[in-house]
């Protein structure tokens, strides 16, 4: 069973998204976050972001959740407004 950690942020500028794109592109996924996929959605006009992090198991989710919760504000896209956990019921890629 796959799980998704869905986090919403406010105050996310285009500059911050570009910095994250560069950080992730150069550094990749941190080892302490055993995610299979990370998706970051951005509403530039509203300065909002939604991040979806996929995990293969409950154990991986717990490890990743702990690491992500430990991040300080400069490491996050903006001000975290919600964190939710979902089972991935349907997933399709082309």
**What CATH number corresponds to the domain at position 51?**
3.30.70
Total number of domains in the chain: 1
Domain membership flag for residue 92? no
Domain membership flag for residue 12? yes
Instruction: Tell me the residue range of the domain where 73 lies.
Output: 3-87
pLDDT of residue 72: 74
pLDDT mean for each 10 residues of the chain (94 residues): 96 94 83 93 97 97 94 80 96 88
Domain membership flag for residue 54? yes
Q: How far apart are CA 91 and CA 32, in angstroms?
A: 24
pLDDT of residue 24: 82
Domain membership flag for residue 94? no
Q: What is the pTM of this model?
A: 0.90
Give the H or E element holding residue 68: helix 58-69
Domain membership flag for residue 93? no
Domain membership flag for residue 69? yes
pLDDT of residue 52: 96
């Amino acid at each position: 069973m796959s799980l998704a950690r869905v986090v919403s942020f406010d105050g996310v500028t285009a500059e911050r998204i570009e910095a994250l794109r560069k950080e992730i592109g150069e550094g990749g996924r941190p080892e302490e976050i055993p995610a299979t996929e990370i998706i970051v959605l951005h509403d530039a006009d509203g300065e909002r972001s939604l991040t979806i992090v996929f995990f293969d198991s409950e154990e991986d989710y717990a490890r990743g959740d702990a690491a992500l919760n430990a991040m300080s504000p400069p490491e996050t896209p903006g001000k975290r407004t919600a964190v939710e956990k979902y089972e991935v019921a349907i997933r399709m890629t082309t």
